[in-house]
Amino acid sequence: MNRRDFSSALLVSGAAASLLAATGARAEGIAPVEGRDYTKLEPPQPTSSPGKIEVLEFFSYGCPHCNAFEPMLEAWAHRLPADAVFKRVPVPFLFNADNFAHAYYALETMGLVDKMQMKIFAAVHVDRLHLDKPEDFAAVVAKNGGDAAKFLAAFKSFSVATSVSRSKKMTADYKIDGVPTLSIQGRFVTSPEKANGEPQALGVADALIQRSRKG
């Protein structure tokens, strides 16, 4: 384990501890408050996960707050109940947005999001790489065990371009003006900023998942 991997492990461990504290507080009956901890989406938005409670994270690889949130969010997403599904939506604002969105959906196409998500964040926020071209992303993917040629093909594909266009529409429809932001079942929106902290936001999301389950 190298220094970066060791640091990542510490981050995930610390994130898990904070997450348990926040979700424990929600389990004790501390209900989130509309207008303070979350807002209702008006109008509600359709979801694309039939039979599941859909949780979306609107994010950007260029956002330092998204980068800081990622270890805790990743640990939380892996512990979601079976009737919930987690998806990410790259936003079309902040710097390099189009390249970041294409890169994310290329990784999704290849089934590499779990493996590469924190690697891309590290390339931007730790290594300070500009990633101005598809080939720059491909080099990061290859460095971390992925296939650069397959990544480039996906990056430039029609299906990825379609996903990027859809993400732009979703960002507008959900009225997203800052990241990271979480949406639950197309009905509720929360964020670390709204909930006054990262673990608090995930605790709010847990409560909103329960509320969505009850209809």
- What is this structure's pTM? 0.87
Q: Count of domains in the chain?
A: 1
Give the integer Cα–Cα distance in Å for 98 and 155: 11
- Do the beta carbons of residue 213 and residue 82 sit within 8 Å? no
Q: What is the pLDDT of residues 163-186, one digit of tens each?
A: 999 999 999 999 999 999 999 999
The DSSP result for 180-196, as a single string, is SEEEETTTEEE-HHHHT
Give me the domain span that covers residue 164.
3-213
The CATH number assigned to the domain holding 55 equals 3.40.30.10
Tokens of 3: 């220094």
Q: What is the pLDDT of residues 24-69, one digit of tens each?
A: 444 445 799 999 999 999 999 999 999 999 999 999 999 999 999 9
**Residue 30 confidence (pLDDT):** 74
